[in-house]
Amino acid sequence: MTDVLAERDRIEKQVAGRTLIDSLADTVERFGDEPAYSDRNRVEEGWRTLTWRETRELALDVAEGLAAMGVQPGDPVAVMASNRIEHAVADMGAVHAAAVPMSIYQTLSPEQVSFVAQHSGTKVAILETDDHLGRWKSALDADADIRVVLIDAPSPGGDRFSTWDELVAAGRARRAENPGELEERHQALTPESPATILYTSGTTGNPKGVVLTHHNVQFEAVSTLEAAGLLEERQKQISYLPLAHIAERILGVYGPQMQGSHQYCIADPSLLLATLGEVHPTAFFGVPRVWEKIQTGISAKLAADPNPDNVKMVQESMAAGLAWVEAQEVGGTMTPEIEEAYRKADEAILGFLKLLLGLDQVRWAGSASAPMPVETTRFMAGLGLKVYDVYGMTETCGAVTANGPGGFRMGTVGRATPGMEVTLGDDGEVLVRGPVNTPGYHKQDDATRALIDEDGWLHTGDIGTIDEDGFVSIVDRKKELIITSQGKNIAPSNIENYLKESPIIGHAMAIGDGRPYVVAVLTLDGEVAPVVAQQMGLEFTDLADLASRPEIRAMAQQAVDKANERLSRPEQVKAFELLGTEWTAESEELTPTLKLKRRVVNRKYSDLVDRLYA
C-alpha cells in the first residue's frame, strides 16, 4: 500500500492544479513546430498535417466560435465525426471554451442520439456527414435550441446551421476583437471540471454518461504512458478507434496533448492494415479483433504456401520468437542461446514479416477492450512482438492494470498501473480505487451509488483473479457468466476465443444460460473464409452460399471439435449454427468497438437457438 500511495503522490504532483488547457500550452511551447495530427480529408492525395502550434490556434478559433454561438461554461458540445483533424480540434476547442465535449458513436440509432442529446442537454452538435445529420434529425426536431455545425455535409439552410469554416472564421474575428475573453473562461476551469462526458455504447439499454474530469484524464494519461514506457518520448501512432472510446481518447487525444505525439487519423478502420504499412507507427494499440485479423491473415498465407521448406522455416523462426518473448516474462530466464536463436530468426524472416505488417518500428503494442485470446498473444510473440494486454473501462478513464516493459505475463492483463489499487471482492469481482475513477454518471445518482461504494471502490462488473506476482486475469463479465440448468458456472469468452482460433471463423457467441448445455452461433470471417474457399477450389456466390457448403461446415465442425478438446465437459459446445452473414456495429450485433451485444444476438437469433436445443 505504501508503494501505491507513493506512486500516486508522485503523479499527483505532476498534474496538480492543471487542466488540459495548461498541458496543451506546455506541449506547444516544447513541440510547437512538430506534427500533431494528420488525416486524408480535404486533400487530393497524401496527408494534410497540422503542427501542435497550428492545432492550438485552430482550437482557440473554434472556442471563440462556440462562445459566439452562445455556448456557456459547462455546456455540453456533441461531436459526431470520424477520426480527423476537425474532430480532435473540436474537442480541444470546446475545452478552451470551458464547455464539455462529448464524442458520440457514429453508429448510434436516431433514438439513442435523441436520448443522449436530451439527457446531456446538448447545446451544439458538430456533425460531419449527411448520415450524421439524419441520425440527429429526431433530436433536432425535439429541441429547436440545439445549434449545428456541419464539417462536410451541405447546410440545409436556416439560422441554426453553420459550416465548420464559418465557425472558425467567426471565432478568429471574435478573438481579434476580444483577446482576453477566453482567458477568463480558462481561469474558471478547475482540475475537477468535466473534461468530457462519454456515453457508453451500451450492450444493453440506454447508454450511461460517464463524467471524466481534467484531473481524471491527466492522471490516467501519465499513469498509462508510464506503465507503457512511453512517457518520455514523442510517438508516431494511428488513430482509428472511435474517439468516443476511452482507449482512443487517452492514446489519441489526452496523451498526445501532454506528450506531443503525432497521430495519423483514418476515417475507415478497414484501411488500418494498409495504413500500418505506410506509417510504420512506433506505438500501436489494437483491439483483440485487429490482432486476430493479423494472425488469421498470416496463417492463411502460410497454409497456402506450396513450399514445405518455407513453411518449416517460418514455423521454426516463430518458435524462436515465442521462446525469446517467454524468456522475458516475469519468472522467465533469458539465455545466450535464446538470444542468438531469435537474432537469426529475426534476420531470416521475422524482421521481414514485421516490416510487411508495418510493425517493424513498434516499441509498444497494446490490446484491451475485450479478452485477448492467449493463442493470439503467443502467435504475435512468435513474430517477436510483445502485445501488452491492459484492462480498464470508461468508468476508470481507461487502463487500471497493464502489462509493459517493466513486467508482463502473457494471458493476463498485467499489474495495477502506477497509483492505482486493484483488489477482488468476495465473489471475485474486480474492484478499483484511485484518482482515475469517474466522479459518477451524468444525472444518474442511483447508478453512481451502485458503481462506487462508500469506501471508494469502483465495482467493475468483471470477474477476475490475481496471482502471487500481482498479475490480474479477467474471467468474464459478471452478468455474462453462463449458469446452466445444472448449475455450472461457465465463462463464455473462454469458449469463444477458442472457436475464433479457426481462420474461417469471424465471430462466435456461446449460449447456455438456464439451458442444459452450451451451443454456439458462429459467423464466417468475411475476408479470410473466401480466400480459404478459393484455395480449396470451391465456387460460391456470397458468404451465405459459402456457409452452406459441406466443406466449410466441416471446417467449422473441426473448430468446434478442437475447442472442445480444451474445454471441460460442461463447457463443451454440443451444437452450433454457422451463419451466412457478418456481424458488425451497423448490423447491431457488435458495439462500435467490436464487443458482442449478447442481448441483441439472443433476440435476433432466438428461433435459431431454440432449434439448436430442439
Total number of domains in the chain: 3
Please give the radius of gyration of the chain, using alpha carbons only, rounded to the nearest integer.
25
In a domain, 315, yes or no: no
**Which CATH number covers residue 415?**
2.30.38.10
Has residue 322 been placed in a domain?
no
pLDDT band at 202, cuts 50/70/90?
A: low
> Does 257 lie in the same domain as 133?
yes
DSSP 136-201: THHHHHH-TT-EEEESSSPP--STTEEEHHHHHHHHHHHHHH-TTHHHHHHHH--TTSEEEEEE--
Between 362 and 204, residue with greater pLDDT: 362
Lowest mean pLDDT among 46-60, 199-213, 248-262: 199-213
Residue 493's pLDDT is 86
Pair 252, 297 in one domain: no
| 546 — pLDDT class (breaks 50, 70, 90) | very high
Name the more confident of 287 and 467: 467
* Residue 87 is assigned to a structural domain of this protein: yes
Distance CA 478, CA 387 (A): 26
Q: Assign 292 a pLDDT band (cuts: 50, 70, 90).
A: confident
- Do 258 and 371 belong together in one domain? no
527: pLDDT confidence band, cut at 50, 70 and 90?
Answer: confident
CA distance 554 to 536: 13
Q: What 8-state DSSP symbol labels residue 593?
A: T
What is the rounded average pLDDT of the residues 596-611? 90
Q: Which residues contact residue 461 at a Cβ distance below 8 angstroms, ignoring those fewer than 6 apart?
A: 429, 477, 478, 479
Domain match, 459 and 514 both: no
Between 49-53, 184-188, 368-372, the lowest mean confidence (pLDDT) is in 368-372
Same domain, 502 and 456: no
Amino acid making up residue 334: M
Average pLDDT, the chain: 93
Q: What is the pLDDT, as a whole number, of residue 482?
A: 87
**HSE (side-chain half, CA atoms, 13 Å) at 124:** 31
pLDDT higher than 90, residue 161: yes
* pLDDT cut 90: percent of the chain above it: 79
Does residue 160 share a domain with residue 35? yes
* Helix (H), strand (E) counts: the chain: 25, 26
Tell how far CA 506 is from the center of its chain: 18
Please name which of 390, 214, 367, 347 lies closest in space to residue 284, comparing C-alpha atoms: 367
pLDDT reported for residue 373: 84
pLDDT digits (tens, 9 = 90+) for 66-114: 999 999 999 999 999 999 999 999 999 999 999 999 999 998 889 989 9
Is residue 119 predicted with pLDDT exceeding 70? yes
Residue 585: pLDDT over 80: no
pLDDT-derived band at 299 (thresholds 50, 70, 90) equals confident
Pair 102, 238 in one domain: yes
pLDDT of the residue at 1: 61
pLDDT score of 205: 62
Q: Write out the three cell numbers for 415.
A: 499489474
421, 509: one domain: no
* Residue 179 lies inside a defined structural domain of this protein: yes
Under the phi-then-psi rule, with left for phi > 0, alpha for psi from -120 to 50, and beta for the rest, what region is 514?
Answer: left
343-356 burial, b at 16+ Cβ within 10 Å, e below that, comes to eebbeebbbebbee
What's the pLDDT tens digit per position in 412-446? 999 999 999 999 999 999 999 999 999 999 999 99
Q: The CATH number of the domain where 59 resides is what? A: 3.40.50.980
Residue 128 pLDDT > 80, yes or no? yes
314 domain-assigned: no
| CA-CA-CA-CA torsion sign (284, 287, 290, 294) | positive
> pLDDT (tens digit, 9 = 90+) per residue, 27-78?
999 999 999 999 999 999 999 999 999 999 999 999 999 999 999 999 999 9
Whether residue 153 is predicted with pLDDT greater than 60 in this model: the reply is yes
Q: Which of 254, 283, 312 is the last residue of a domain?
A: 283
Report the alpha-carbon distance of residue 544 to residue 533 in Å, rounded.
13
Mean pLDDT along residues 330-344: 97
In a domain, 342, yes or no: no
Q: Which three cell numbers stand for residue 362?
A: 513498434
Cα torsion at 522, 527, 531, 534 (round to 10°)?
A: 70
Here the cell at position 552 is: 466449410
Query: Phi and psi (nearest 5°) for 249?
Result: -65, -40
Q: CA torsion 419→420→421→425, rounded to 10°?
A: 180
Mean pLDDT of 475-499: 82
181 in any annotated domain: yes
Q: Which residues of 416-425 are buried (b: 16+ CB within 10 A; e: fewer)?
A: bbbbbbbeee
Instruction: Report DSSP state, residue 347.
Output: I
Residue 303: the pLDDT is 79
Q: Which of 551, 549, 544 is nearest to 581 (CA)?
A: 544
Instruction: Give 219-239 pLDDT, tens digit per residue.
Output: 999 999 999 988 888 999 999
Structural domain for 591, as ranges = 481-613
Identify whether residues 262 and 140 lie together within a single domain: yes
pLDDT over 70 percentage in the chain: 99
Q: Are 192 and 230 part of one and the same domain?
A: yes
Please report, for the domain that includes residue 562, its CATH number: 3.30.300.30
pTM of the shown model: 0.85
Annotate 221-249 with DSSP letters as a single string: HHHHHHHHT-TTS--EEEE-S-TTSHHHH
Residues 293 and 247 in one domain: no
Extract the C-alpha cell encoding 292.
486476430
Q: What pLDDT is attached to residue 599?
A: 84
The number of angstroms, rounded, from the C-alpha of 332 to the middle of its chain's C-alpha atoms is 30
The C-alpha atoms of residue 108 and residue 102 are separated, in whole angstroms, by 14
In the predicted structure, residue 204 carries a pLDDT above the cut 60? no
pLDDT at 2: 62
CB neighbours of residue 465 within 10 Å: 13
* Residue 205, domain member (yes or no): yes
Half-sphere exposure of residue 550, counting CA atoms within 13 Å on the CB side? 0
DSSP-assigned states of every residue in 17-30: T--HHHHHHHHHHH
State whether 453 and 602 are in the same domain: no
